[in-house]
Chains A and B, each alone.
Chain A
Amino acid sequence: MYQATHLSYRIREKILLHDVTLAVAPGQFTAVVGPNGAGKSTLLKTMALEYTGYHGEIVINGRPAKAYSPRELSFVRAVLPQNTTVQFAFTVEQIVSLGRHGYRSSRKENEAIVDEVMLLTGTDVFRGRSYLSLSGGEKQRVQLARVLVQVWEETLYPRYVLLDEPTSSLDIAQQQHIFSLAKKVCERNIGVMAIVHDLNQAVLFADHLYFLREGKLVASGAAHDVFTKPIIEETFCCRVNVYRDPCNNCPYIIPERDVLAHPLVVEK
């Protein structure tokens, strides 16, 4: 389990996260949704120990996160940022191999893992090309591959992947590709936590959903249970309708055309 309990984070007087309790289970896809500025990225960066001035507790596999060294952390969790800019002309394969940095395993083992993940993510076809020459979707898939090789090896302990809006500027096919890959890696005793912008994608892929607004949790639970009209309307302050897909029984939303006449009052 990758758990955060009563997590709060503030920069000077500004409260960015307030009393958030969240758990990412291995083998499951956990999605965090919420409006812009709700603190989703802050939550992910705090969970990743990128921000250290938090209050509350983060525990990874039963051990307090602060007790891990950066290298030990890299064995249990990998992070995919929204976008990664690279200034130098690395090849795709070099970028993916960077994920193996912390490991002392042999070159042969590393290459086997890199090959396997590149094949799975469909990045093997441009392995020798310069990263700078790729399209946005291809770049993001290469970065996902880099993140996956970091936690790919089957170990006795569960590993976790944190994705920060991995599909924010991608078309629908690329989005589907990234999320289905993330869903697939859950089978390897990996827990995935993703910040997802598209609510329909979120409920389609996630096992668990967390709704975040103004740094506070609005609701959380099994995806199909909490994906309801009142919770979504309260979180996003907009009017929507929730339907169910008759084929797979998965809920989906369609936003209404008119904005709320009386926006929900924001609690301070």
Chain B
Amino acid sequence: MNLALATRDYRTPLILAGLSVCLLVATLFSLSVGAVSIPVKDVAVILLQKLGLFRNVTVEGMHEIVLSSIRLPRIIMTILIGASLGVSGSALQALFRNPLVEPSLIGVSGGSASAVVMVIVFGSALPLPVNGWLYHSLLQLVAFGGGMLATFIVLELSSQLGKTNIAILILTGVAINALAGAVIGLAIFYADENQLRTFTFWTLGDLGGATWDKLRFAAPLLTTACAGLLFFAPSLNLFSLGEAEAYHTGVNVESTKRRVIIFAALAVGISVSLSGIIGFVGLVVPHVIRVSFHSDNRLVLPASVLGGALLLVLSDVIARTVVSPSELPIGVVTALIGAPFFMGLLMNAKRKHEL
């Protein structure tokens, strides 16, 4: 009789375990491919040696260097950014009660990117050594602020009597993205010729250039933001009924909303400051999880952490290999997957008269 109950109880940990295994396999695969091909077995041995195991097995020294100074920081950054984009996408979707919400579409990423670019180009007057840890944390702080400002603007403009007006939501995203594009363009205009290439970095994303230095502050912050969002999964379930309904059921609506926005802006802002704007991860991942399994945020949020990381790791493999030895901007890959997907969602919304 309680079949539904039983399946619900046992499925969530199983799904999460399955996704973790997929992520692990993809990670090992990603670490092994590239200009220097390292066998997966060696990758595993080097990783385990870092944990103090298999000390007696010898591996090629060059492999060790490539792995620990180039590929390892890059994969960690990829996983953290994918997880952050995935979980903030699903949290914002729950908060806005709409599956069309995505950090780059509604302007959160654009807000972060334009704030960072302004500091990079016009901040040369600041008495700070470029590329020092202080400089990096300033960039991350600014990215966080820009993202939060954008989220608040979107939320204020699109909410009508406690419900989200989807047309205004999407149009606000268009406006903020246009503004962000203009700001980035303007900054690049005043930048020297060498910095021109960074325009691609900020608008289409780039996972290269990951260093342990950059991760020192970003990694704990991104982990905190992801963990913080997971904590709100039960309250976000109530939000899907409506803000008034969430309040009636005992949720402190305003404080939940504020905290979710702060954590999401932190996750997106830090990600953008590390890698530029990588679109559509936060749109595709939660949707696939909802369609494949169910919509309970206690599954969707943690699964988006794993699924976002998985998607970005695989996209990165594609970006690095298809035009090897050159590299595609990662945003090209995610947009090629995500944009048709978004159009599909829009068609679905149109059919249901939601636009």
Contacts and interface: CB of A to CB of B under 8 A. Distances in A.
A88 B247 contact: no
Given A50-B247, A81-B242, A99-B249, A94 B294 contact: yes
A84 B248 contact: no
Contacts of B294: 89-91, 94
Nearest to B354: A87
B4 A128 contact: yes
Nearest to B97: A87
B213 interface: no
B137 interface: no
Interface in B275-313: 290, 294-296
Contact of A74 (B4, B9, B237, B249): B249
Nearest to B298: A94
A87 B240 contact: yes
A107 B107 CA distance: 40
A50 B237 contact: no
Nearest to A51: B244
A90 B248 contact: no
A79 B295 contact: no
Contact of A94 (B98, B242, B251, B295): B295
A98 B298 CA distance: 12
Interface string A67-84: 001110111011101001
A69 B99 CA distance: 31
Interface in B207-249: 234-235, 237-238, 240-242, 244-245, 247-249
B252 interface: yes
Interface string B248-268: 111111000000000000000
B5 interface: yes
Nearest to B5: A111
A79 B250 CA distance: 11
B249 A85 contact: no
A234 B235 CA distance: 45
A90 B5 contact: no
Contacts of B94: 88
A107 B10 CA distance: 13
Given A73-B248, A101-B234, 12 more contacts: A50-B247, A74-B248, A81-B242, A88-B240, A90-B240, A90-B296, A93-B4, A94-B8, A94-B296, A102-B250, A127-B4, A128-B3
17 contacts: A70-B251, A70-B252, A71-B250, A74-B250, A75-B250, A78-B248, A81-B244, A88-B240, A88-B290, A89-B294, A90-B296, A91-B4, A93-B5, A98-B249, A101-B234, A101-B249, A111-B5
Interface of B: 2-5, 8-9, 94, 97-99, 163, 234-235, 237-238, 240-242, 244-245, 247-253, 290, 294-296, 354
